[in-house]
Amino acid sequence: MLIPGFATTEGTARFRERFAARLPGHLRLANGLWIASIGLGTYLGDPTPAHDQLYAEAVQRAVELGTNHFDTAINYRHQRSERAIGRALGAMIAAGGLRRDELVLASKGGFLTFDAEEPEDPSSYFHEKLIRTGLVRAEDVAAGCHVMSPKYLANQIDQSRQNLGVETLDIYYLHNPETQLSAVSRPEFYRRLRAAFAALEKAVAEGKIRVYGTATWNAYRHDPDSREAISLEEVLRAAEEVGGKEHHFRAVQLPFNLAMPVALAAKSQVWKGRAMSFLEVARAQGLMVFASASLMQGHLAQGLPAEIRSWFPGLQTDAQCAIQFVRSTPGITCALVGMSRREHVEENLATASVAPLTLEQFRSMLAK
């Protein structure tokens, strides 16, 4: 049986209350929800039972230390990451220490995925499961790995709900939609995007997801004239075309960290004819922004220059300084950090015992 409910203002405020005194400014209000400024990501790691167990323990420890946001995708570790999160949170909810309305759960769809293990012959596996069953048309597959047709997304949303064990996903992202641009023209891309958004609006109406958005890697960081660039203005126009002014496109995810600051530092987007940074546009439109790869996939967790460390008083380790940068950046809702080891969860969540930099501190840091 799937756990009913979804994140609410009241539930997430209750979660926040438990940590407000110890973790100043850690849970922040975005789109009506109190969301932890450090979320647990589940991309990396071997697709093995041993790593499932690590993630399940990491998720439990993260809740105990003040995280209510968990980010995953159906293809992460061949659906194992979704299942590990679902198992851990389901057990905590069943034990009575946690309630569904306190948690903000995000997943993504778009990439083809295996089921727990890589089959011997991936292409015949996909042919049998997807093409022969009529779930996917061959012409919808881009780069041999990506589909965002309405039928496929509806199927993937149901599968993610099963894997996570919940009736409703709080945030559902279209995963790296820019992958389609390697296979189709820009007009066809936006036609596919509108069809995908229509499917996501339908899923909202059915109570299967609460809001949706895009999780990207290159799309919002590349120069507007590059092949994989996507305009946030056009994406929001597509959402409005299918969902009206009250559409449910409310969240974006993109890489952002000390070594990849484009979302803040470069005017890579155009809004009403004006060049602006991605974060300026997202903020003006009231979008929740989730930073992926906050540690640059682990590389920022060691070897930061002493000068950079000095910008983040009160923190002990390089990982903590890198996370503090991300969660202090104006416009960032949450720094997502991949962490499957308990000791990493403990080190990273300790960052939250120091308040994020104020806007003034952040500006003076940039001026250094």
Ligand X SMILES: NC(=O)c1ccc[n+]([C@@H]2O[C@H](COP(=O)([O-])OP(=O)(O)OC[C@H]3O[C@@H](n4cnc5c(N)ncnc54)[C@H](OP(=O)(O)O)[C@@H]3O)[C@@H](O)[C@H]2O)c1
Contact positions toward ligand X, by CB under 6 A? 41-45, 71, 108, 175-176, 215-217, 253, 292-298, 301, 319, 336-341, 344, 347-348
Contact 101, 6 (CB under 8 A): yes
Closest approach of Cβ 39 to ligand X, in Å? 8
- Cβ-based nearer residue to ligand X, 74 or 295: 295
Closest approach of Cβ 41 to ligand X, in Å? 2
Closest approach of Cβ 321 to ligand X, in Å? 11
Closest approach of Cβ 103 to ligand X, in Å? 15
- Cβ-based nearer residue to ligand X, 8 or 35: 35
Closest approach of Cβ 127 to ligand X, in Å? 26
- Cβ-based nearer residue to ligand X, 87 or 344: 344
Closest approach of Cβ 126 to ligand X, in Å? 21
- Cβ-based nearer residue to ligand X, 108 or 208: 108
- Cβ-based nearer residue to ligand X, 8 or 262: 262
Closest approach of Cβ 44 to ligand X, in Å? 5
- Cβ-based nearer residue to ligand X, 106 or 238: 106
Residue 78: CB atoms within 10 Å: 17
- Cβ-based nearer residue to ligand X, 171 or 301: 301
